[in-house]
Amino acid sequence: MVSSAAEVRPGMQGEIKDTLLTPRFYTTDFQEMESLDINEQEPEFRAVLQEFITDYNRNHFVRDDQFGKSFERIRGEERTLFLEFLERSCTAEFSGFLLYKEVARRIREKNPLLAECFRLMSRDEARHAGFLNKAMADSGISLDLSFLTKAKKYTFFKPKFIFYATYLSEKIGYWRYILIFRQLQSDPKFRIHPLFNYFENWCQDESRHGDFMGLVLNSQSRWLNGTSNRLWIRFFLLSVFVTMYLNDQKRSGFYKMLGLDAKDYDLRVIEKTNRDASKVFPLLLDVDHPEFVRLLDVCVENNKKLESKQNMLSKLPLYLSNGLNFLRLYLIPTKESLPKGTVC
C-alpha cells in the first residue's frame, strides 16, 4: 500500500500522538461476536453478502493520469491542510480495514455468514486506505501502515458498542463524502485534486457497510430497546457529532479550499446522519435546538484557547467547561425516530 518512491513515515508529524479527536483503532470480544444469532434475518444477510460479492466498485479505484501532477497546484498552507485530510482519512479507513479483517478471521468458523460480510468490507476499506495513501505518496510522503498497525493503541469496545460506533461512522462517512462530491460537481473550480472525482461511487461502499451494520443492530433488538441502550445511543450520536465538529472547525481552511463553509458543511452532515441513523436507532438528537450549535461553538472557542495554554492549571477550566457543555448537549431532550421509509 505504500509507494516505494515516497518518504514513508508513521505519521506526518513523525510520531503517533493520540488525542480524543484522532482516529482510533478498535478491538472487541470475539467470542461474543461469533455467538451473535442472525438466523432470523438470514435472507437479508444473504442479500447484503451478494451485494458485497458483486463488488460494484471492483474497477473504480484505478488512478488516471491526472494524479501524476496533482500536487503541482497545491502549495503552502493548502498543501499542509490537504495532506492532513489525506492522513486522517487514510488512518480512519485503515482502522476499519484492521477491525473488519480481524473480526472476519476470528469468527469465520462459528459464524461464517457474518464473517464473510466482514471480510468483504475489509477488502473495501483496504482499497480506500490504499487509494488515499497513494494520493499522499504523490506528494513525497506516505503513511507506514504496517507501523501504524503495531504502534497505535487499540480501544476495546463490547460488540454492541462496536456496532453503534461503526454504524455511525459508516453513515457519517457516506454523508461527508457525498456532500463534498456534490459541492465540487456544482462548482468544479474548487476541485483541487482528482481524488474527489472518486467520492460518488466510493461513498456507496460506505453506505452499504452502514446498511450491513444496521442490519446486525436490527437483528439484535436487545441492543436497541430499553432505557440503558437509549442513553448509550444518545452518547454515541453526540460523541461522533462533537468529535467531527471540533476536528473540522479547527481545519476550516481545508473546507474553504473546496468552496465550503466548515460550519455549514458540518451542520448539514450532522443533520443528514442524525436522520439517517434513526432508521435503526430508536431516537435522534434535537440538532435544531437553539442551544445545540451554541454549545458546540463554545467548545470550539475553548479548544482555540487551549492551544495557547502551557500548563495544566491554566487548561483545567477550559477542560471543565468542555465537559460541562458536553453534558448540557447530552441533556437536550431527544426526538423519537422517524417512521420507516422516510427519505433522508
Angle, alpha carbons 60-64-68 (nearest 5°): 140
CB 247 → Fe ion: shortest distance, Å? 17
CB 175 → Fe ion: shortest distance, Å? 13
CB 96 → Fe ion: shortest distance, Å? 5
Site for Fe ion in 75-114 (CB under 5 A): 93
Please select the residue that binds Fe ion; options are 106, 123, 127, 128, rule is CB under 5 A: 128
Stretch that binds Fe ion, among 80-88, 125-133, 187-195, 334-342 (CB under 5 A): 125-133
Let me know: does 285 contact 241? Beta carbons within 8 Å. Answer: yes
Site for Fe ion in 325-344 (CB under 5 A): none
Site for Fe ion in 239-298 (CB under 5 A): none
Please select the residue that binds Fe ion; options are 34, 87, 102, 206, rule is CB under 5 A: 206
Please select the residue that binds Fe ion; options are 123, 127, 152, 209, rule is CB under 5 A: 209
Q: State the virtual CA torsion across 311, 250, 134, 58 in degrees, nearest 10.
A: 130
- Beta carbon nearer to Fe ion, 49 or 318: 49
First to last CA, the chain: 35
Backbone angles phi, psi at 74, to 5 degrees: -105, 110
The CA distance from 105 to 119, in Å, is 8
Query: Residue 258 contacts by C-beta under 8 Å, 6 or more apart in sequence?
Result: 180, 183, 184, 190, 192, 196
- Beta carbon nearer to Fe ion, 179 or 329: 179
- Beta carbon nearer to Fe ion, 138 or 206: 206
Stretch that binds Fe ion, among 165-173, 244-252, 303-311, 321-329 (CB under 5 A): 165-173
Residues that bind Fe ion (CB under 5 A): 93, 125, 128, 170, 206, 209
